[in-house]
Structure formats: structure tokens, C-alpha cells
Amino acid sequence: MPLTGEYEPSPSAWVREQVELYESSNGQQGNTLLDTGLPVVVFTMYGRKSGKLRKVPLMRAEHDGRYVLVASKGGAPENPEWDANLRADPRVSVQDGATIVDGRVRELEGAERQEWWDRAAAVFPTYNEYQAKTDRQIPVWLLEPAPID
């Protein structure tokens, strides 16, 4: 069963607008990072404080039906807010074009983290620059398809 509940749009205008454009066009528009041409997908999760649905466009890094979420925040010293949402509740869905995949995420470590980091950096090499800018190890999450209950 997909995630259900009330949607609370992002306070960030560009995130809110990109999500609206992406969803209203089934991923035919708003499907790249700004003007880079690099593909994005939209992840939906529960807000840890509000319990409402939160949505965030992230780089599309997929392999064998699994998706990676890189909590880079552009190399900022702190993790993005959505990282804390995943820690509180691992149920997530991703809209990839017109397809929606439900599942659970888990934070990756060690060799598995490196494998998925490399896949994500192949799509968006700037992740390596972000990691070099910060002292924190950027969290890497893996969405594996599974029924959500």
C-alpha cells in the first residue's frame, strides 16, 4: 500500500515548484536538476515532527530497481532535514516518471555504501566535491522495493 496522508509542501520555493511540476506531468517536466539536464526523481516520506507527507527531488541513481538517496545538502556541515525523517520512519516511495515504487530505506555502510556512492557519483560527479567540502560522512540510503504497511 502506498504512503497515505496529508501532503505538506516544502518551505523552499524551488523544491515545492519542482515537485508540483514533476508530479503534475508524470515526470515529463521538472525531471532534471535545474538546467543541467541531469535526471531527478521525487521521493516521498513522512515528516518526523508533523507526520505529514514530505517530498524531495533528488538525483536519479537507480540500479536493478533500487534507488540511492544521497544526503549531501551540497556539502553543508549538517545533514538535510529529510535525512532525519528517514531515521524516524524508513517507509518511502519514489516517483520515477509515471512509475511509483514503494519500499523501505536503510542507511548504507562500508563496502556497500562505497558501491552505491560510486553509482550515485557516476550520475552526479559533484557528490565527490560535496564530500570534500564537509567533515561529516555524507549519509547514503538505499530504497529497496517492498510493500508498505
pLDDT by 10s per residue, the chain, length 149: 679 999 999 999 999 999 999 999 999 999 998 778 899 999 999 999 999 999 999 999 999 999 999 999 999 999 999 999 999 999 999 999 999 999 999 999 999 999 999 999 999 999 999 999 999 999 999 999 998 77
What is the pLDDT, as a whole number, of residue 87? Answer: 98
What is the pLDDT, as a whole number, of residue 148? Answer: 79
The pTM (predicted TM-score) of the whole model is 0.95
* DSSP secondary structure letters along 85-130: HHHH--EEEEEETTEEEEEEEEE--HHHHHHHHHHHHHH-THHHHH
Domains and CATH numbers, the chain: 13-145 (2.30.110.10)
Tens of pLDDT, residues 29-41: 999 987 788 999 9
Give the separation between CA 54 and CA 5, rounded to whole angstroms. Answer: 10
126-133 and 110-123 helices cross at what angle (nearest 10)? 120
What is the pLDDT, as a whole number, of residue 35? Answer: 76
What is the pLDDT, as a whole number, of residue 1? Answer: 62
